[in-house]
């Protein structure tokens, strides 16, 4: 017997002669286990929710900081011609096998078939791409400086432009409407007034 009056169970005890645990005591053990486990899981859930809430707050602060930074970058005059060269992507460059050029005998002039002359297609006038369009050029410069495209979409919409063109910089630029030219004139005149107001 130990200090509590319970029999000591060891390797020399015949378990067939030991009585069963009282059902009330077994029920008390199970209740304690369930209560303890539930309390632990509730505490763990509260800690996880608190950490997720803190992380959400930090993400919101980061988004606000990014919006402020974008607004400051957009307010700086003269960034239209600034480009940042992207670093080359490191990686293995597989060597191309050398091409073997075989000597092919030329056909005599009499054996060459008479082919109709192919007319060259008329040259199309050079089209301006979206990345060269003055309405979109500032957004592509922000992208080159590392601003994510998703953050610029709302700003492009607010300026009355199509944000889908940010994904296709080499696509032909959309035709400028009268409203766009008027708004660009108003923006340029207001920029000039800001420069002279200093």
- Render 83-120 in DSSP notation, one character per residue: --PPPPPP---PPPPPPPPPP-PPPPTTTS--PPPPPP
CA 16 distance to own-chain centroid: 67
The pLDDT profile of the chain, 198 residues, written as one tens digit per residue, is: 566 666 666 667 777 877 788 889 999 999 999 999 999 999 999 999 999 999 999 999 999 999 999 888 888 887 767 676 767 766 665 555 555 555 555 555 555 555 555 565 555 555 778 778 888 888 888 888 888 887 788 888 888 888 888 888 788 877 776 555 444 444 544 444 444 444
Residue 167, C-beta contacts closer than 8 angstroms, at least 6 positions apart: 149
Q: In the numeric block, which tokens belong to residue 185?
A: 């004139």
3-state class of 15 per DSSP?
coil
CA–CA dist 182, 60 (Å, integer) = 36
The end-to-end CA distance of the chain, in Å, is: 95
Residue 136, C-beta contacts closer than 8 angstroms, at least 6 positions apart: 130, 156, 161, 165, 166, 173
């Amino acid at each position: 017997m130990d200090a509590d009056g319970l029999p000591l169970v060891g390797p020399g005890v015949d378990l067939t002669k030991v009585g069963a645990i009282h059902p009330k005591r077994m029920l008390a053990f199970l209740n304690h286990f369930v209560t303890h486990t539930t309390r632990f899981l509730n505490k763990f859930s509260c800690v996880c929710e608190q950490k997720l809430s803190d992380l959400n707050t930090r993400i919101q602060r980061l988004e606000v900081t990014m919006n402020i930074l974008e607004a400051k970058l957009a307010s700086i005059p003269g960034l239209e011609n600034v480009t940042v060269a992207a670093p080359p992507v490191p990686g293995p460059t597989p060597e191309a096998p050398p091409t073997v050029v075989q000597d092919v005998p030329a056909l005599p002039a009499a054996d060459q078939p008479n082919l109709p002359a192919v007319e060259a297609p008329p040259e199309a006038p050079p089209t301006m791409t979206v990345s060269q369009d003055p309405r979109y050029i500032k957004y592509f410069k922000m992208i080159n400086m590392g601003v994510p495209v998703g953050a610029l979409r709302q700003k492009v919409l607010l300026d009355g432009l199509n944000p889908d063109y940010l994904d296709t910089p080499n696509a032909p630029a959309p035709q400028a409407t009268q409203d766009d030219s008027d708004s660009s004139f108003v923006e340029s005149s207001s920029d000039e007034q800001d420069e002279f107001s200093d």
